[in-house]
Chains A and B, each alone.
Chain A
């Protein structure tokens, strides 16, 4: 079908095909994700070499690139570069006909941006290239996408990049629960497939996104999608590399580069999208993505990259009934029950009455009897003794689980950890032989490290494997001396404390399914957000600038600070007025201007002025409380007009009483025994009306006992007031 369409286009189409043939199709494979989501495992082994259904991730990517017709791949290695290079050297990828793999090593690249700048300096890329990371699993054919890209390039030299997207159901929880990624919003021109807007941190926006008005002016139509998933497969023109070099602050491919190009339209570079429908493409971003993609592979969505097809280097595995994959040499007890969608690797033996379901078991594992394994990823050479219970966990190479040990959902056991007898590792914990790298800014973690061991060797990601190994051996002996370690009797390993988010974040990115209550929560927040956005739907911020809702949350504190400054200023103004005999009108004018500049209400002015007067009375020398009241009386008589100006309604008067109450409690404790007297004075001077006092009393009636201190003091006064009003009636 495609070929026929090409034929209709005539000479142009053929030219493009020729061009396609002439160029050697190149690809850049970033064998480093520049993220720490797979720690602690990635402290010892790079992410791309982690086994995904018993085959290292990078093999999936390379096998796909090879079958998609890529002829030259540059593997960029940074973290654990030696391990990656050694692996590739020993694998069959080197020396394939029509498929050359070469490595580029770097020790100081901190981001994808650095990597691409380094590759640019090497001058190895000659034409359009594919940019992927080493954790991509796909079976999509590239020919169509490439053809589209080249055709666009011929028409418009600024079309520098095509990103591959796929459809994903816009369910409120799918994004979160499938790949553990945040919701992604994209605006795409439906005619040209040009990408106009990209926002992958949509969760932070609380249901609102804003588009530039300019977009709507230029385009006849825009389709806004939240049902697309970014596959992180990009077809790039060589300009992309130079763009990275020009903008040396670009680090992240999406957050900086794509958004940068979209926002900055000076150069006029354009990004396009290519949507795939039937083929599969996804990237493993975190543990949840690892779980989901493993299951997709087992369910054969990635065909032919499935366990029973020897697409590369994996040993012969057969697909048996009910989706069970079994390698040729497996020692399986007669009474062991292997459930559906399970992969059992070569040389593994499984004891009697053991139940395994929805799991992947690697090569050379020894699993005892009466073990239950559900939804786990067990790598190579793991020993699991009798009676262990594992649920939704990742167990790395060489781990030993002593009899009766258990793993709760979401646990990650890094290399060679030993879990002690009868010990149950709590949910979502990560256990490693290496200690957690200590962040300087986090007190909690520092404390943790101190508690666990006197001497702290902090392994950082930049360490070379050899160094790590040295530390490793010393540690091992150290921890063996410890009889009771953090992982039970005879166990070896440290339980890492949770990151900043604590438990809050752990469940999002773990292999365990999201607990039911969390799901309810997500759905609830999602619907809440929906309501918010429905309500605010019509009042989109007009400027195209984002008005973050968060301002409102922080505002409480801001207001308090503002008020404190305001109060000080008012007090200063008032004192100046007292000393320099400024007229009331002028004071009102000044206080009003202050009110405007601080954006406060007249109630605030009233309480601030009242505070100033009290302060004045307090500061005037006095010996007895009686004199203090007298001082206050003179002040209030002199300035009552000023105060009265701001007391326009009952509410403000109540506010003043509340303020007075607060002052008595906090700043000017001298007044507290005089509360009733002052209140009476204010009543006499007509500053505060009877109604206000009664309202205040009624309001206070419902308050806590502790708050009623002054109410009790004023009890008699209020009673008198009540009686007085009755008499009047």
Chain B
């Protein structure tokens, strides 16, 4: 097994050099890296969850700084932190019957457990846990079977706990780690299957003889459209080419190969075509907490056109793209400015980029931003792997996946 530090470094360098592209790939790699990091991390006997959280935060901070524009990294780090908290919580609530543990949990200042009454009923603890957070529809629905399952583990945990404390601690360590890794595995699973989960919903949204418009290329959108096609829906797709990378060309090729009626248009023709379109379906780079979307460049224009003609603007996003930050945060509004050579051939314009004459600064500047920000009021619907959501519902959905303590991933000072 390779040394985890070198793994981290390698990943850091890759992130820094922009060698990893696409939020899905980044998310998956980040999750896998954190999994191996956690599995190799030696934990102290006391306050394991806290130590683990600190360690993950330290790594996470580095990862986020390596490429602050790729929000998926931060999302996954926060997800993993949340998983650790959740697992720790379920373990402590399970073992809460023993008084010794409640004393221990006092040390864990970052887990909101200290002031919990040491009630033996685990179900109460679980209920208390959910009251600490604003209850989302998801949690309310899911908590019923979950809290029912907890007492079983608690009874077994309680038995062993009473017999030998030290042995139990070992068990606890292993158990926490084991559970966390299990949960991270699930997360990885989720990320890799999010396409299918989103695509499954395609038939509910795409109807017979509709005209769909999309811009650029997104794996999720491709799967989504193809899934509808497979369900024998017949519809047409307009693909805006998505300058300057022209990924729309590749998408059109693939769609045509799958037997979809496809039309390629230029980005600038979007407004002219939008009146014939029934629905705009696009991918996203990240979905912010307010329901705004960081999307490939050009989508704000498409969203405005869609609003003008009252065409639904649907954004497909896997859960790893949900970012708990708000776009007013300057870190988030950072755009990636790519090389101007995607727009212009350097040689052709070398005479315009002459710094040797005049005032020394050239008259020609080329700006090539990678992303647009689409405000939430322009988005009609988000389709994630858990279903369709309104933009205004996003902040509630996020509470299921992220703990409010983790919004700022920064290693706590040693004090």
A residues lining the B interface (CB < 8 Å): 63, 67, 97, 139, 166-169, 171, 173-174, 176-178, 180, 227, 229, 277-280, 288, 291-292, 295-296, 299-304, 309-312, 316, 318-319, 323, 341, 357-358, 374-375, 392, 512-514, 516, 519
Contact = CB atoms under 8 A, between A and B. Distances in A.
Nearest to B359: A513
Nearest to A176: B356
A377 to B, nearest CB: 12
B350 A178 contact: yes
B356 A296 contact: no
Contacts of A180: 356
B339 A169 contact: no
Nearest to B344: A278
B347 A514 contact: no
A374 B356 CA distance: 14
A475 B346 CA distance: 47
Interface of B: 6, 10, 16-19, 65-66, 334, 337-342, 345-351, 353-362, 365-366, 368
A227 B345 CA distance: 14
A301 B341 contact: yes
Nearest to B9: A97
A169 B360 contact: no
Contact of A139 (B339, B347, B349, B353): B339
22 contacts: A166-B346, A167-B346, A167-B347, A171-B351, A173-B354, A174-B354, A279-B341, A295-B353, A295-B361, A299-B340, A299-B362, A299-B365, A300-B337, A300-B368, A304-B17, A304-B18, A309-B18, A311-B16, A358-B360, A375-B359, A375-B361, A513-B358
A167 B349 CA distance: 9
B217 to A, nearest CB: 15
B360 A375 contact: yes
A303 B356 contact: no
Given A301-B339, A301-B341, A168 B19 contact: no
Provide the main secondary structure of the chain B interface: loop
Contacts of B359: 375, 513
Given A278-B341, A311-B16, A514-B357, A301 B346 contact: yes
A300 B356 contact: no
Contacts of A63: 17
Given A97-B6, A513-B357, A300 B350 contact: no
Contacts of A303: 337-339, 341
Given A177-B357, A303-B338, A311-B16, A280 B346 contact: yes
Nearest to A228: B347
A173 B358 CA distance: 13
Contacts of A292: 355-356
A277 B341 CA distance: 9
Given A301-B340, A303-B338, A311-B17, A295 B355 contact: yes
B17 A309 contact: yes
Contacts of A279: 341
A167 B345 CA distance: 9
Contacts of B346: 166-167, 277-278, 280, 301
Contacts of A166: 346-347
Nearest to A323: B365
Nearest to B364: A299
A392 B350 contact: no
B297 to A, nearest CB: 15
A169 B17 contact: no
A318 B360 CA distance: 24
A178 B337 CA distance: 24
Give the 5 A-B CB pairs with smallest separation, nearest first: A167-B347, A177-B356, A303-B339, A169-B351, A513-B360
Contacts, number: 119
Given A178-B355, A316-B65, A167 B337 contact: no
Nearest to A293: B355
Contacts of A178: 350, 353-356
B350 A278 contact: no
A310 B16 contact: yes
Contacts of B337: 300, 303, 319
A341 B353 CA distance: 14
Nearest to A278: B341
Given A178-B356, A292-B355, A300-B339, A169 B350 contact: yes
A693 B361 CA distance: 66
A303 B18 CA distance: 10
B339 A302 contact: yes
Contacts of B341: 278-280, 301, 303
A374 B355 CA distance: 13
B216 to A, nearest CB: 18
Contact of B66 (A176, A278, A310, A323): A310
Contacts of A296: 353
A10 B349 CA distance: 38
Contacts of B65: 316
B348 to A, nearest CB: 7
A292 to B, nearest CB: 5
Contacts of B334: 318-319
Nearest to B366: A299
Contacts of A300: 337-340, 368
B345 A513 contact: no
Contacts of A67: 17, 19
Contacts of A302: 339
A84 B359 CA distance: 35
A358 B334 CA distance: 22
Nearest to A510: B356
A136 to B, nearest CB: 15
A554 B362 CA distance: 42
A470 B358 CA distance: 43
A169 B364 CA distance: 15
A319 B351 CA distance: 26
Nearest to B2: A97
Contacts of B360: 291, 358, 374-375, 392, 512-513
A593 B357 CA distance: 58
A139 B18 CA distance: 13
Contacts of B6: 97
A514 B19 contact: no
B365 A309 contact: no
Contacts of A375: 359-361
A97 B10 contact: yes
Contacts of A358: 360-361
A304 B16 CA distance: 9
Given A67-B17, A278-B342, A310-B16, A519 B357 contact: yes
Given A63-B17, A67-B19, A97-B6, 5 more contacts: A168-B347, A168-B350, A178-B353, A280-B346, A519-B357
A51 B105 CA distance: 52
A516 B354 CA distance: 14
The winner among B17, B18, B342, B349 for most chain A CB atoms within 10 A is: B17
B392 to A, nearest CB: 30
Given A295-B355, A309-B18, A169 B340 contact: no
